[in-house]
Amino acid sequence: MSPFSSVSNETQSRRTTFSKFIIEEEARTGSDPSLTALLNDVQTACKFIALAVSRGALHSTAGIGTDVNVQGETQKPLDVIANNIMLDECARGGTLCGMVSEELPEPSPIPESYRHGRYLLVFDPLDGSSNLDVNVTVGTIFSVLLAGEGVTEPEAADFLQPGNRQIAAGFALYGPSSMIVLTLGHGVHGFTLDREIGAYTLTHPDMKIPTSTREFAINASNERFWEPPVRHYVDECVRGKTGPRGEDFNMRWVASMVAEVYRILVRGGLFMYPRDTKDPGKPGRLRLLYEASPMAMIVEQAGGLATTGRERLLDVEPTSLHQRVPVILGSSEEVERLTKYHAAYDRGEDLEFESPLFNVRSMFRSTAGS
C-alpha cells in the first residue's frame, strides 16, 4: 500500500471510474451508447487539458497563436490549447455533427473524413482563464444537445436550444485536484482525477446544494451598475447581524465560475453575475449556451435554483451563439428571495434602492457615518 493511500489496493479497484459510471448509467437508463462514447471523449480531453494547466509556465506555448476572440477578449495560449484539445478529441469519435466554442465565432464542423453523429457539443474550453497567471482554479464547461432530425451539418440556428433541452452538462475543474462534475439529468456526480491510475473516480456521488446559506458571491466592484433588487439583497447581507436579516454573511469572489459553482455544490451559497448597466449593449457578463445553461442544469439537478432574476435560466430561448445573460444561482432560499425582490421592483414596489437614494447606504459606506 502506498504511504499516500488511505485505502487498500483491493478497495481502490472497486472504485467507480467515470468510464464505468457512464457505462452503468447507459445500462440503467437505456440511454444511447453514442452519448456514452461522447462523454468518454470529453473526459479524455479534460485529462489532456488538466495536464497542460497543471504544468503552468512549464508547458510549452511555442507556436501557439493567440488572438482577440469573438467576445473581444484577448486569448491566453492555454485558451487556444484547451480549445484545440476539445475540438480534436471530440470530433473523432463519430458521435457529433458539430461543436460551438467560446473561442470560435461560428460552429466548428466535423471534418468530412470522420463519421458524423447526432449530438452537438457546446463548450467553454477554459473558463476563468484570466486566473491562469495567478495559479487559481480554472475549468472547462460543456453542454450536450441533440441535433434536429436529419441535420448533418448544423448551422448556428441548430445550436440555439434552451437549456431545458440539454441531454447532459458538466464541468471540469483544474485546481488543487482535477475533477469532473457531471449530470445526465438524474442528479449530479463529482469525479476526482486519480493521477496514479489515470482515471476520474467517483468521489462525490449525488451532490446536493443546501437550501439555505449565509454566503454569497458577486463582483462588488460593479456595485454602481447593479439594478435596485440586487443592491437591496447585497445591502441586507452586508449589514449582517445589525441589519434586517439579523445574521452575518460571508462573501467570496474567485472570478472563475467553475470554482464558484463547485463551492456552492459542496457547501451552498449564492452566485450572482446579474444584469447591470456597465455596458448597456450587454444584458450580463456570462454566456448563455456554454456557461449559464450547463451550470443551471447542474444546479437544478443538485436541488438548487438558477434564474436571470426574472426567468428560469433553463427556459431562456437563445437568439445567438454568444448571447450573454444575467445569472443568479445557488441555494434555493436565497435565489427565491432575490427573485422576489426583482418581482417587487418590477411591480413598482421596493424602490428604496433606486439611485440616488441608495448612495447614502452603499456597501462601502457605513450607515452610521452617512
257 contributes a contact to ligand AFP by CB under 6 A: yes
Which DSSP string corresponds to 278-331?
SSTT-S-SEEIIIIIHHHHHHHHHTT-EEE-SSSBGGG----STT-EE-EEEES
130 contributes a contact to ligand AFP by CB under 6 A: yes
How many residues of this chain interact with ligand AFP, rule: CB under 6 A? 12
In the bound state with ligand AFP, the residue whose beta carbon lies nearer, of 129 and 166, is: 129
DSSP annotation of 75 reads P
Query: Residue 162's closest CA among 282, 35, 317?
Result: 317
In the bound state with ligand AFP, the residue whose beta carbon lies nearer, of 119 and 226, is: 226
In the bound state with ligand AFP, the residue whose beta carbon lies nearer, of 129 and 201, is: 129
To the nearest 10°, the Cα dihedral for 275, 278, 281, 287?
A: -50
Q: How far apart are CA 322 and CA 101, in angstroms?
A: 9
219 contributes a contact to ligand AFP by CB under 6 A: yes
DSSP annotation of 226 reads B
Q: Taking CB under 6 A as the criterion, which residues in 61-80 touch ligand AFP?
A: 73
In the bound state with ligand AFP, the residue whose beta carbon lies nearer, of 37 and 81, is: 81
Q: Based on the number of CB atoms within 10 Å of its own CB, is 112 exposed (0-12), middle (13-18) or buried (19 or more)? A: exposed
Q: Taking CB under 6 A as the criterion, which residues in 152-191 touch ligand AFP?
A: none
Contact string (CB under 6 A) for ligand AFP, positions 21-60, x = contact: ----------------------------------------
What the block records as the C-alpha cell of 346 is 418590477
- Main-chain phi, psi angles of 176, to 5 degrees: -50, -40
Among 128, 210, 274, 330, binds ligand AFP (CB under 6 A): 128
Among 129, 137, 293, 339, binds ligand AFP (CB under 6 A): 129
Q: How far apart are CA 327 and CA 276, in angstroms?
A: 11
Taking the complex as a whole, the smallest distance from the CB of residue 241 to ligand AFP amounts, in Å, to 28
Contact string (CB under 6 A) for ligand AFP, positions 282-311, x = contact: ---xx-------------------------
- Interacting residues with ligand AFP (CB under 6 A): 73, 127-130, 219, 255-257, 273, 285-286
